[in-house]
């Protein structure tokens, strides 16, 4: 599935980002004031920051592409195919523009390019301004991608159990947006003449944002949804009628057969299935609570 491939790709860049941050601390002296570091340490730190910028942007954009595709599959029934397609295209263009624009900026902010990690080699644009610009653009796409589906949930013909399940998934996206906003706040505090000493908090929230985005993308899939569904069933409300046992006149069917068919249909549309779903039996009755069996 393409969404899985995008999430795996994003995970690779998240791991790369984390590994480079470790190197920047051990060899580049990130966290120390720049006037206490040697020239080699400063170059290591600036090289690491350059790679981190690329990995951070790429991983977030890949995750957003995956979520856009997933949302298109989930909400197409609730909003109409044409409307969902238009929103998907707008989201793809916005995220694609963020990815291309950010990478282009990273490779053109300094002339020549090695000046990005070699002090006094050439001329560079204001680094903090570039971080702020990409951060704000990222925040805008976060708000668009994570907020629109919350409105769509109300249009879906879901049971209360499933609405709470979907709502919890989408709320995790709101948490990612909040972390992104906090990160921008600390980017504003990065001092251009002491990047190594003032970038620590912005780095920390960049890591938190990436890892929370990975978690959110993972629980947005079917497996994650079923885990949250089990939590909701145990602690909040019982499961909907789409998760019961199937019976037929003259004897009970195999509990797995009807249940698998019902769950398969639920995965396709995320809509409440009719209690009279055909599971290749004469008469099908669904029991709401398995504990009553």
- How many whole angstroms from its chain centre is CA 144? 13
Outline where DSSP puts E strands in the chain: 110-111, 123-124, 246-248, 251-252, 285-286
Residue 242: its pLDDT value, please? 43
Beta bridge partners, 125, equal none
Distance CA 96, CA 88 (A): 12
Print pLDDT tens along the chain (293 aa).
788 888 889 999 999 999 998 888 888 889 898 889 888 899 999 999 999 999 999 999 999 998 888 777 666 554 456 766 777 788 899 999 999 999 999 999 888 888 888 888 888 887 777 888 888 888 888 888 876 666 666 666 667 777 777 777 777 778 888 898 899 889 888 888 888 888 899 889 999 988 888 888 777 666 566 777 777 777 777 654 443 333 333 334 343 333 344 344 444 444 433 433 344 333 334 434 434 44
Under the phi-then-psi rule, with left for phi > 0, alpha for psi from -120 to 50, and beta for the rest, what region is 251? left
pTM of the model: 0.73
Distance CA 66, CA 33 (A): 39
Residue 27, C-beta contacts closer than 8 angstroms, at least 6 positions apart = 41, 44
Q: What share of the chain is helix, strand, coil (3-state, %, to 5)?
A: 75, 5, 25
């Amino acid at each position: 599935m393409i969404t899985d491939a995008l999430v795996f790709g994003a995970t690779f860049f998240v791991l790369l980002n984390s590994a480079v941050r470790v190197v920047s601390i051990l060899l580049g002296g990130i966290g120390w004031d720049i006037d206490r570091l040697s020239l080699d340490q400063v170059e290591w730190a600036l090289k690491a920051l350059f790679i981190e910028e690329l990995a951070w942007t790429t991983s977030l954009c890949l995750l957003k592409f995956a979520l856009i595709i997933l949302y298109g599959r989930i909400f197409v029934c609730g909003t109409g195919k044409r409307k969902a397609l238009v929103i998907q295209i707008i989201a793809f263009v916005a995220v694609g523009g963020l990815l291309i624009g950010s990478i282009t900026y990273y490779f053109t902010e300094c002339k020549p390019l090695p000046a990005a990690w070699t002090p006094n080699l050439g001329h560079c644009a204001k680094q903090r301004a570039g971080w702020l610009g990409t951060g704000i653009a990222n925040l805008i796409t976060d708000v668009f991608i994570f907020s629109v589906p919350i409105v769509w949930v109300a249009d879906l013909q879901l049971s209360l159990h499933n609405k709470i399940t979907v709502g919890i998934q989408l709320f995790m996206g709101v948490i990612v947006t909040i972390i992104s906003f906090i990160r921008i706040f600390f980017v504003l505090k990065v001092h251009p003449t002491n990047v190594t000493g003032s970038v620590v908090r912005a780095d920390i929230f960049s890591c938190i944002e990436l890892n929370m985005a990975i978690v959110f993308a993972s629980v947005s899939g079917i497996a994650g949804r079923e885990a949250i569904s089990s939590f909701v069933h145990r602690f909040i409300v019982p499961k909907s009628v789409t998760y019961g046992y199937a019976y037929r006149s003259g004897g009970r069917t195999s509990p797995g057969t009807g249940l698998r068919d019902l769950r398969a249909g639920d995965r396709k549309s995320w809509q409440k299935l009719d209690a009279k779903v055909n599971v290749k039996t004469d008469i099908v009755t669904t029991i709401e609570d398995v504990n009553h069996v």
